[in-house]
Amino acid sequence: MPAKNPPPTVPQQSLWLGVLCLIGLDYFSTLAYQPSIAFASAGYAAPLATVVVVLFTFLGAVPVYCYVAGRSPHGQGAIGLLERSVHGWLGKLLIVVLLGFAATDFVITKTLSVADAAEHLIYNREPVWQQTLDVLGGTDGPVPQWLPPPLWQRIAAYWNRQLVVTLALSFLGFAFWTIFRRASRKRVVQLAVAVVSVYLLLTAIIIASGLTYLLAHPHLLQDWWHKCTTVTGSAHGNIGSVPSWLSISSRCLSAFPQMSLGLSGFELSMVVLPLIKAQQSRGATALERRVGNARKLLVTAAAIMSLYLLSSTLVTTALLSPRALTTTSQAANRALAYLAHGGLLTDGHSAAEMNGMFGGLFGTFYDISTIVLLCLAGASVTMGLRDLVPRYLHRLGMELQWAHNVGAILHAFNCINLMITVLFRASVLAQRGAYATSVLVLMSSAAVAAAIDLRQRRSGTWLRRTPWLFVGISAVFCVSALSAILTTPDGLVIALCFVLALLASSIFSRILRNMELRFEGFEFLDERSRFLWESLVYLQFPILVPHRPGRQSLLEKEEMIRKRHRLSPDVPLVFVEVELGDVSEFYHRPLLEVIQEDGRFIVRIHRAASVAHVLAAAGLELSKVGTPPEIHFGWSNETPIAANINFLLFGQGNVPWMVRELIRKSEPDSQRQPPIVIG
């Protein structure tokens, strides 16, 4: 028998605050590089542009994903919601496209996070780190000397500290992934709580010290505001005419696509939703309580992130010079760590004057906490990828349970991570466009899925049924995603590579496995249908006659069959009527209805993915007891090519021959195989 969809396992669950920290490994890790990216995108208007990000978070992302959590509480996320709303091959194509962007999102999250962790390690000025890096990353170190000269000449252009350290930390991330894979989910959540708590506490100390310093030196805020309202928006500080508020608003809105990295983590929150424990409460089911806790998680995470984003961007933009924020060896991609190390402020003083703890020791401790968080961010999204992708690949016809068990899929993604790291030369700035594209496309799909689903659930005129809030959110996110794609098409290219790989492998797998029975059991319309079906199982010598309603009446069909197949009136006939459902599904669980009409048994099978597969399954089910039934067909006028295409794509081609082959391959005992008669 073919492999069936494995039963879902119930994961170890934790309190929603603990799961919030698990999501925070991805969500909060963007604080490490978001302030300098905000300045690079919006210049001195970065704090105002961050306000736009916060508004999009609470007015767009939070409402959409709160709705998605209620409609998809088992971890399917927006992709699962869209799959239920758009059926058929178009729906499957959309799922493959979204899986491509989800894979891009998760992969770039890991590569970008590790690349930023490398910058925190490289530009920590402690002698121990620098001596080690000189050995590993130098062109005259031992590693180049071990390699053959032809090979070294090819990779010499890529060999630098940033790439070498990023690759080393990538292997550390693989180690974290191994821990995540083998450890219990509860232990993983506990580790996430410890790491995120330490990181947020240290970050809060840095931000609070910066805000206190700004309050004590109000001229710094005044100077920032003057530059914000008089500088054209370039990160290099080109002075121009005083812009209007419309110009400032336009600058902030145009910077949003590149700053949308601060919205990452919402799709991961949907994947790990089953990990949330449903606390006991009166008058609500466990599922409803879990959804309620998931919504608390989303709002709380958004509130924490918004507070940190706004304050960190204001502190770094007002206290650090443009040169420091855009220079790789200083505060670029590590602005908060630069302050923690006591870096130079815009007024010429050291950041150590903000807080006496700031300096080499505190900065190193903060770097370590940031590096661990960034490496774990990659491991956490890998765990999400492990839970998200196989369930959809299985439905496309790729039986990958063996690969899931041995971690083959994740090993493949680890290799892809290394390849993308090398292609982008471990540059944070080079990867941010691809990251922003994948984040915005997934958020756009979530908003569109929520709008479609809510419209399908409502009744009335099209005006009343249309969820205008979600339509507006969808339009904003789609425009932002299109802007990100046009600005930096790298994310689209990577996603299309994933999409093409998924399409090719799923088509190849489906062609190879289409002769499997693909049957997961019948569901019954009512108890009477179940009783009559079980009665048919014990009926001796039944004849199954497939019948297509609308072409001829059952009486005419019976007279024709008895005449052509020379069946006496006392031989019972069971007519089988098959109604196709979603033919793009690989596995199917048909709905079975059995009725008696004018002394005839009629079996009506609904939601079938393939006529041949469901007829073969019905024949095998009726063969479990007694003599197997005969299945009688008429001749088909289809050409062989048309029959095979109809069978592969539309579930109804060359039925008699396909039924025979499916029965022969599914039941090795020839005595238990229902005979096929074609007249």
Query: What is the per-residue pLDDT across 312-333, written as a single tens digit (0 to 9) for each?
Result: 999 999 999 999 998 888 899 9
User: For 107-139, how does the pLDDT look when each residue is reduced to its tens digit (9 = 90+)?
Assistant: 888 899 999 999 998 888 765 666 666 555 555
Name the pTM for this structure: 0.83
User: For 231-283, how does the pLDDT look when each residue is reduced to its tens digit (9 = 90+)?
Assistant: 544 444 443 444 467 778 888 888 999 898 888 888 878 888 888 887 766 66
Chain centroid offset of residue 343 CA: 39
Burial of 5: CB neighbours in 10 Å, binned 0-12, 13-18, 19+: middle
User: For 388-397, how does the pLDDT look when each residue is reduced to its tens digit (9 = 90+)?
Assistant: 666 677 667 6
Nearest C-alpha neighbor of 321 from the set 235, 213, 258: 235
CA–CA gap between residue 621 and residue 628 (Å, rounded): 9
CA–CA gap between residue 33 and residue 26 (Å, rounded): 12
Chain centroid offset of residue 568 CA: 59
User: For 574-583, how does the pLDDT look when each residue is reduced to its tens digit (9 = 90+)?
Assistant: 888 888 888 8
What CATH number belongs to 523-678?
3.40.50
- The strand order across the sheet containing 573-580 reads 523-524, 591-597, 600-608, 573-580, 543-546, 630-633, 676-678
Question: Are 577 and 603 within 8 A, CB to CB?
Answer: yes
In sequence order, what are the residues at sequence separation of 6 or more whose Cβ sits closer than 8 angstroms to the Cβ of residue 601? 532, 536, 572, 573, 574, 575, 594, 595
Question: Are 75 and 281 within 8 A, CB to CB?
Answer: no
CA–CA gap between residue 298 and residue 290 (Å, rounded): 12
Question: Are 350 and 344 within 8 A, CB to CB?
Answer: yes
- The mean pLDDT of the chain is 82
What string of H, E and C letters represents the secondary structure of 299-347?
Answer: HHHHHHHHHHHHHHHHHHHHHCCHHHHHCCCCCCCCHHHHHHCCCECCC
CA–CA gap between residue 499 and residue 93 (Å, rounded): 9
Nearest C-alpha neighbor of 173 from the set 29, 12, 309: 29
Question: Are 268 and 105 within 8 A, CB to CB?
Answer: no
CA–CA gap between residue 130 and residue 123 (Å, rounded): 9
DSSP 21-76: HHHHHHHGGGGGTHHHHHHHHHGGGHHHHHHHHHHHIIIIIHHHHHHHHHH-TTTT
CA–CA gap between residue 125 and residue 602 (Å, rounded): 81
Query: What percent of the chain is predicted at pLDDT more than 70?
Result: 84
CA–CA gap between residue 268 and residue 378 (Å, rounded): 12
pLDDT band at 398 (very low <50, low <70, confident <90, very high): low
pLDDT at 239: 39
CA–CA gap between residue 497 and residue 204 (Å, rounded): 40
pLDDT at 183: 64
Nearest C-alpha neighbor of 184 from the set 18, 417, 6, 388: 18
User: For 165-186, how does the pLDDT look when each residue is reduced to its tens digit (9 = 90+)?
Assistant: 888 888 877 777 676 666 667 7
Neighbours of 2 (CB within 10 A): 15
16-252+259-511 and 523-678, same CATH topology: no
User: For 416-431, how does the pLDDT look when each residue is reduced to its tens digit (9 = 90+)?
Assistant: 888 888 888 888 888 9
CA–CA gap between residue 441 and residue 264 (Å, rounded): 11
Lowest mean pLDDT among 115-129, 439-453, 512-526: 115-129
Pairing outcome for strands 600-608 and 523-524: unpaired
Residue 214 sits at the vertex; the CA angle it makes with 213 and 215, to the nearest 5 degrees, is 90
Question: Are 56 and 304 within 8 A, CB to CB?
Answer: no
User: For 470-505, how does the pLDDT look when each residue is reduced to its tens digit (9 = 90+)?
Assistant: 999 999 999 999 999 999 899 999 999 988 888 888
H helix count then E strand count, the chain: 29, 7
Question: Are 492 and 485 within 8 A, CB to CB?
Answer: yes
Tell me the average pLDDT across 77-88.
81
Half-sphere exposure of 456 (CA within 13 A, CB side): 12
Task: Select from 2.60.40.1930, 3.40.50.720, 1.10.760.10, 1.20.1740.10 the CATH code of 16-252+259-511.
Answer: 1.20.1740.10
Give the domain ranges of the chain.
16-252+259-511, 523-678
pLDDT band at 56 (very low <50, low <70, confident <90, very high): very high
In sequence order, what are the residues at sequence separation of 6 or more whose Cβ sits closer than 8 angstroms to the Cβ of residue 328? 119, 123
Question: Are 23 and 298 within 8 A, CB to CB?
Answer: no
